Amino acid sequence: MSPVEMKPWIWIDSAQTFRALVDELNAHTRLAVDTESNSLHAYRERICLIQISTTQHDYLIDPLALGDLSPLEPIFANPHIEKIFHAAEYDLICMRRDFGWKAFSVFDTMIAARTLGWTQLGLGSLLETHFGVKADKRHQRANWGARPLTPDQLAYAQLDTHYLIPLRDRLIEELKSNHCHDEAQEEFDRLSRLIGNNHFDLPTFDPENFWRIGGARDLTPRQAAILRELFIYRDSAARQMNRPQFKVMNDSVLLALAQTEPKTLDDVKKTEGVSGSIQRHARALLEAVARGRHAPLCHPPRNEREPDEIVGRYETLRKWRKKKAQTRGVEADVIIPRDVMWSLARRPPHTRDDLHLINGLGPIRREKYGEEIVAILQQS
């Protein structure tokens, strides 16, 4: 299938078609993959659609209808089948969380473009630049958990993987001609290991996370206690309604209620940001405020800070990395990821051999930057 030849997608929602698909996919050495989730429309998100393209066909897999997708697990784990994503991290995390899958032999077209220093990194921009295709971005925020999906949604989903294989081929040529293919591959492998070595459970609600709301630390201890009760109520309502918390009411409404401490239903309704859809919660919000008035006072937790010598080494590395990135014309974390820089700052290497102890610092980066890293850390 040439890049411009787009056949109708193949919908997979039965055990029979799914078994045939697995047999077909095992016969290929390259697969383009994407997923669609319902994070904007449900209390707990889940993968609602999986797109997989070969050089011949585009498949749209319905996990909601199939249930058991375990036959796909060996395909994602197979190092001899390359899985091509764009911005793979989120998809890999979701697949690990929902299905327990690990993915090996990953090619990420966004990482490849960043390694090359390309300024346009979105898939829509890349498709338009290299294939003259304009994607309809309206469906990015669609409810992928609803059934049936519209023809426009399905066409949008097909487009997300249809061009990834030819895009990967163009990127491979550029990476090799710019002598940075091995560097990109090292980052692909690092991403696979990072996600594959972690287990991502469905997030659990922590009432102490109310401190993450902007402005929470500026409240009085009593107002903070009220905010905590409001935060707990919002989660309970979101869970019952199966909606994301921010779609029940946003953080600014909770903060305003905590600051004004309403005593009557009219006070709640007059609070800034309390619209008609929120007013249905007025009585429950008033009860949450009342609980907060009698709850123990809340004081902000202390922020743990790295020792000054570690922060100093990190800043030294950050300045060095910034200069390297500017010279090469790439974003700073293409040189060395942030988490690896912190590891270097916490365990400063004294020799190049010590660099092998730093997780995430692969042989390509050790070869390119190892001597400089050891030298600047010894001087800091």
Final residue before a domain boundary, out of 196, 222, 255: 196
**Is residue 257 assigned to a domain?**
yes
Domain hosting residue 288, numbered range: 207-294
Within this chain, do residues 256 and 324 fall inside the same structural domain, yes or no?
Answer: no
**Is residue 349 assigned to a domain?**
yes
Phi, psi of 335 (to 5 degrees): -70, -60
Give residue-wise pLDDT tens across range 69-88: 999 999 999 999 999 999 99
pLDDT of residue 4: 55
Within this chain, do residues 118 and 213 fall inside the same structural domain, yes or no?
Answer: no
Within this chain, do residues 47 and 70 fall inside the same structural domain, yes or no?
Answer: yes
Within this chain, do residues 178 and 262 fall inside the same structural domain, yes or no?
Answer: no
Within this chain, do residues 281 and 316 fall inside the same structural domain, yes or no?
Answer: no
pLDDT of residue 136: 81
For residue 137, with 0-12 CB atoms within 10 Å meaning exposed, 13-18 middle and 19 or more buried, which class applies? exposed
pLDDT of residue 3: 56
**Is residue 300 assigned to a domain?**
no
In the chain, how many domains are there?
Answer: 3
The model scores a pTM over 0.75: yes
Final residue before a domain boundary, out of 229, 260, 294: 294
Joined together, the tokens standing for residue 69 give: 């997708």
Strand locations in the chain (E) = 10-12, 30-37, 47-53, 58-61, 82-85, 106-108
**Is residue 239 assigned to a domain?**
yes
Within this chain, do residues 40 and 77 fall inside the same structural domain, yes or no?
Answer: yes
Extract long-range pairs of 99-103: CB within 8 Å, 24+ residues apart: 99/47, 99/69, 99/70, 99/72, 99/73, 100/73, 101/72, 101/73, 101/76, 101/77, 102/76, 102/77, 102/192, 102/195, 102/196, 103/76, 103/77, 103/192, 103/195, 103/196
pLDDT of residue 100: 96
- CATH code of the domain containing 192: 3.30.420.10
Within this chain, do residues 283 and 331 fall inside the same structural domain, yes or no?
Answer: no
Within this chain, do residues 180 and 238 fall inside the same structural domain, yes or no?
Answer: no
Element (H, E) at 96: helix 88-99
Within this chain, do residues 265 and 184 fall inside the same structural domain, yes or no?
Answer: no
3-state secondary structure (DSSP) of residue 357: helix
Average pLDDT in the 139-144 region?
91
Give the C-alpha separation, 229 to 285, whole Å.
9
Average pLDDT in the 173-198 region?
96
Joined together, the tokens standing for residue 62 give: 């319905």
